[in-house]
Amino acid sequence: MKALYEIGVEIIATPYQGPAIEAPWWRAEPNPARWQGDTFKFLRDAARRLLGEPPPVQLDDEAAAPTGESFSDRAVRQIAQTLIAPLWLRHLDRILTDEPDVDAVIFLTIPLNHLVGVARAIQEQHNKPVLYYDGDVPASLPNMSGFATGFRIYQGADPGEYAAFISNSLGGEEALKALGARAVHTLYYGADPDLFSPVAVPEQDIDVFFYGHGREYRAAWIEAMIAAPSRALVDARFAVRGTKLGDLGAAVMLPYLSFSKLREYACRSKLNLCITRRAHASVYASSSSRPFELASMGCCIVANPYAGIEEWFEPEREVVVVSSAEEAVERYRHLLAHAGERSALGRAARERVLKEHTFRHRARQLVEIVQEYL
């Protein structure tokens, strides 16, 4: 949204969860169902306890999330469609009536099965295209079962009521069409190079660093790229910032402190790991934020196999990809001994971001997509 503002697009932002947040880059409208949203988790968890349903768990790569909806999921969805959707329809109707020059409405990765019928009604009443952006494809899709800890957003939804779908995944386009989307566009993630920029540090005192949360769908690569190499390379310092990652071998856990500290950690590290979850890594060109963020900071990136990564970065020139724990150890050892090679990889990665992958690039692409439906 910041980048859209920077290219001249006026944004009105209204949150589905939590309070409205004012910022220099958009005008905030309140959440019309804030207290209802704040009680959502309480009601869902209470229903699960009463019915004896197991709580969500972090999954290993070999495990599968339950398919379909639980009773409590269905109950919450039906309550949302009955009570929350009318509030949002009135809210959006009021905004669009007060702001007749609004060109389009975009729903950003909200649970679309909570607001069934709202997009269709808005388009009929105001003749404005309503588009849906799903930033979690393919993990959000029913055939991927979603995350155990997250929403099931497609069960009971009507994707066909939107003018078009936009997602982060080129390989996920056909799945969205199969769910009923009338048109599908791909808009990859990117980075803000002003925010994710290199910072000067006294020295690179961390050899290998990883930042991320959750073991879900990447347990094998956490073992292969962090735990096992940290035991094998006894003279190297491995560090991690994150939660619920399981066994990390000899890697040390760093405190969070602040966002700026995370950027410092990355710049203090000779190698930065990009361990992408299986759902994204296995479906072609399913973008996630981390490769772009690390590249924008000029980091030397080592990644697990990621289908379609060549759409964004050139392997061996802008990113290193390893296919096993043994290869990870070998490449870490080599790169840690060759500072010039690390620097060249980091410079090339940042140059690629500045050339093709900033959020201003994405904002312009989004405007081009929306203009097709005006």
Is 0.95 surpassed by the pTM of this model? Answer: no
First to last CA, the chain: 19
Q: Could you give the angle at which helices 118-126 and 85-98 cross, rounded to 10 degrees? A: 20
> Could you count the other beta carbons within 10 Å of the beta carbon of residue 199?
12
Sequence-ordered strand ranges (E) for the chain: 12-13, 27-28, 105-108, 130-134, 164-167, 184-186, 206-213, 238-243, 252-253, 269-274, 301-303, 320-321
Which is it for the CA torsion 351, 348, 215, 242, positive or negative? Answer: negative
Architecture of domain 2-190+360-371: 3-Layer(aba) Sandwich (3.40)
CB 3 within 8 A of CB 360: yes
The predicted structure's pLDDT at residue 58: 46
- pLDDT on residue 72: 64
Domain ranges of the chain: 2-190+360-371, 206-356
pLDDT of residue 70: 67
> 2-190+360-371 and 206-356: same fold?
yes
pLDDT of residue 151: 63
What pLDDT does 175 receive?
Answer: 96
- Beta bridge partners, 3, equal none
Q: Name every residue whose Cβ is closer than 8 Å to that of residue 318 and which is 6 or more positions away in sequence.
A: 295, 301, 345, 348, 349, 352
Amino acid identity at 281: A
pLDDT value of residue 57: 46
Asked if residue 138 has a cis previous peptide bond (ω within 30° of 0), the answer is yes
Q: Could you count the other beta carbons within 10 Å of the beta carbon of residue 27?
A: 13
Q: CATH assignment of 206-356?
A: 3.40.50.2000
Which pLDDT belongs to residue 144? 73
223/87 Cα distance (integer angstroms): 47
What's the rounded Cα separation, in Å, for the pair 221 and 243?
16
Q: What is the pLDDT along the chain (374 residues), one digit of tens a residue?
A: 999 999 999 999 999 988 999 999 999 999 999 877 777 667 767 776 777 755 444 455 544 555 556 666 777 778 888 889 999 999 999 999 999 999 999 999 999 999 999 999 999 999 999 999 999 999 999 877 555 555 689 989 999 999 999 999 999 999 999 999 999 999 999 999 999 999 999 999 999 999 999 998 899 999 999 999 999 999 999 999 999 999 999 999 999 878 888 999 999 999 999 999 999 999 999 999 999 999 999 999 999 999 999 999 999 999 999 999 999 999 999 999 999 999 999 999 999 999 999 999 999 999 999 999 99
3-state secondary structure of 231: helix
Structure tokens, 365: 């692409």
| The pLDDT of residue 46 | 78
